[in-house]
């Protein structure tokens, strides 16, 4: 009975996830409204003052920098020095705190992103890329980023999304809130097809439940919208 309740909870959670992820346009509008309504503080950011490898921009024209491009110098094959973009930082709501970091490889591809989704000044989402395609996203309850912008490996995600060919392949969740990802949702062609459980927290699935009536996420999304 307990396992049945857990399965029902995970299926409901999946429907909510799809509903939320499909409303990106609405979220963008809301974020825009937040940005417009945020009181602009006159904060002078001197982190990169007189740094020749940093270009600063004042996007909203309030006299304060709110976007930065950080470059690094590398040696080319002919022993010349070339300046390449290393990362981009953005203060999305103009409150003096960086809410978004994007990191680039030496070839110019996106490597990862640090994102403060709720704009509270702390990073809560990390996205990883290969060949400019997202392959993994992790969500955190605590800021997992150290002051030097490295990742604090001691802070564990409570949810992880894994993608294959730009489509959701798996969602792994810390269902018991003990710091270990223990519940697995498997997807195929936008349908939840299987749920797995790691009962002893060893990183391996001990129990699998295959869903005979595959959950169509588009239908679940529509049902979620109508249930008010």
Q: What is the pLDDT of residues 154-191, one digit of tens each?
A: 999 999 999 998 899 999 999 988 999 999 999 998 89
CB 10 within 8 A of CB 209: no
- 56 vs 65: CA distance, rounded Å: 6
> What are the boundaries of each domain within the chain?
2-226
In three-state secondary structure terms, 74 is strand
What pLDDT was estimated at residue 40?
46
Task: Please give the average per-residue pLDDT across 49-68, as a whole number.
Answer: 91
Is the pLDDT at 67 greater than 80? The verdict is: yes
Is the pLDDT at 227 greater than 80? The verdict is: no
| Spatial strand order in the sheet of 110-115 | 54-57, 67-75, 81-90, 100-104, 110-115, 125-130, 133-139, 159-164, 167-173, 183-188, 191-197, 207-216
Which two three-digit tokens encode residue 201? 């927290």
- Give the pairing type, strands 183-188 and 125-130: unpaired
Task: Please give the average per-residue pLDDT across 123-147, as a whole number.
Answer: 96
């Amino acid at each position: 009975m307990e396992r049945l309740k857990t399965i029902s909870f995970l299926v409901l959670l999946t429907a909510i996830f799809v509903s939320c992820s499909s409303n990106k346009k609405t979220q963008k509008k809301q974020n825009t409204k937040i940005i417009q309504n945020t009181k602009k503080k006159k904060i002078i950011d001197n982190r990169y003052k007189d740094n020749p490898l940093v270009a600063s921009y004042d996007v909203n024209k309030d006299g304060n920098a709110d976007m930065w491009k950080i470059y690094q110098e590398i040696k080319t094959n002919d022993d010349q020095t070339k300046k390449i973009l290393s990362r981009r930082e953005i203060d999305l709501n103009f409150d003096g705190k960086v809410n978004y970091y994007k990191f680039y490889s030496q070839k110019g591809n996106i490597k990862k992103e640090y994102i403060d989704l709720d704009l509270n000044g702390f990073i809560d989402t990390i996205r990883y890329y290969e060949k400019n395609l997202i392959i993994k996203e992790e969500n955190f309850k605590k800021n997992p980023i150290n002051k030097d912008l490295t990742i604090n490996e001691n802070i564990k995600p409570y949810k992880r999304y894994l993608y294959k060919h730009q489509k959701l392949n798996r969602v792994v969740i810390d269902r018991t809130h003990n710091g270990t990802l223990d519940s697995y949702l498997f997807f195929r062609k936008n349908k939840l097809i299987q749920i797995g459980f790691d009962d002893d927290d060893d990183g391996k699935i001990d129990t699998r439940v295959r869903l005979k009536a595959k959950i169509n996420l588009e239908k679940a999304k529509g049902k979620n919208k109508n249930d008010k």
